[in-house]
Amino acid sequence: MKIRLAIGGLALAGVLAADCVDGSRDTSAEEQAYQAEVLAALRASLPPAPAGWKLEDRGLFAPAKSVCKGSDASRAVYSASYVWMDGVAEQNKRSEEMSRKVGALRTIPTDKLNEMNEYARQGRALQREIPKARAAGDMAGVDRLNAEIKELTAKAYAIRKAHQDAVAPQIEAISNEFIRAEEGKSYNVKVSMAANDYMEAGLKPGAGLVRSGSQSSILFGQAPPKGKRALQVYSITARFTGDAFQVETLVKGWQPSAAIALMQGKPAPAVAGQ
């Protein structure tokens, strides 16, 4: 299994030998320096957050200390995400309005609440009579008092239940309205920036965004050579997971300048241990 050198903004510090079919090996100082440089360039190449959006990037990474034998140490991945803050604010506003309406409907009218409170008052008064009846040995009286308390409790519950049943259709309608308002809305776009990653079918340099399912991908550079590779950036693949229109908004006019600069640099030393 191949190692991802960075996931979610965090690089893997190493691999367990059990995760590697042929075991693992320590990375060289040259490889670690290369990985640190590439990860920093990938992070610097993230598209800027448009107005109303926020880039969530923890910015923590470190070179991998070990990789699986036979894996490509020239490959590196940096991930982050974008949150549509304006959309989240609108969603919160709708949610608060829904909660306000539902809360108002669930509030028992004052006259009914007073009736319930009266039943509770009567029940407490009867409850205080039980120890007296028990002390007098009047067990029949105890049973009668308990039965009356139970009846009062049932009356209070019936008032609450009748109110809940009466407002249930309105609450359901409000909930369905909120759900319909949320349909098709997306508030998050995840991005993965990869150096020398695998190539999806149809993904070619200069082809622009290629959409497949919920993911849009774009390739810069060229396919890495097969076999033993130098510690060099041959390609940058950016994958955006989220709404297609929102992805297009994020990448409009964008170029991963820092990562492209690495591709245009001089080849680094060959990968050790392969």
With a cut of 70, which residues of the chain have pLDDT below it? 1-18, 60-61, 201-202, 266-274
Q: Which residue from 68, 61, 58, 41 is spatially nearest to 221, judged by alpha carbons? A: 41
Write down the pLDDT at residue 132.
Answer: 95
Write down the pLDDT at residue 253.
Answer: 84
How far apart CA 14 and CA 28 sit, in angstroms, is: 12
Angle at which helices 139-182 and 85-106 cross, to 10°: 150
How far apart CA 80 and CA 6 sit, in angstroms, is: 11
Write down the pLDDT at residue 27.
Answer: 87
- Give me 102's structure tokens: 């539902």
Concatenated DSSP letters for 189-211?
EEEEEEES----TT--TTS--EE
Per the DSSP assignment, residues forming a β-bridge with 221 are 235
Write down the pLDDT at residue 271.
Answer: 41
Write down the pLDDT at residue 142.
Answer: 95
pLDDT tens string 114-129: 999 999 999 999 999 9
Write down the pLDDT at residue 201.
Answer: 65
Write down the pLDDT at residue 16.
Answer: 43
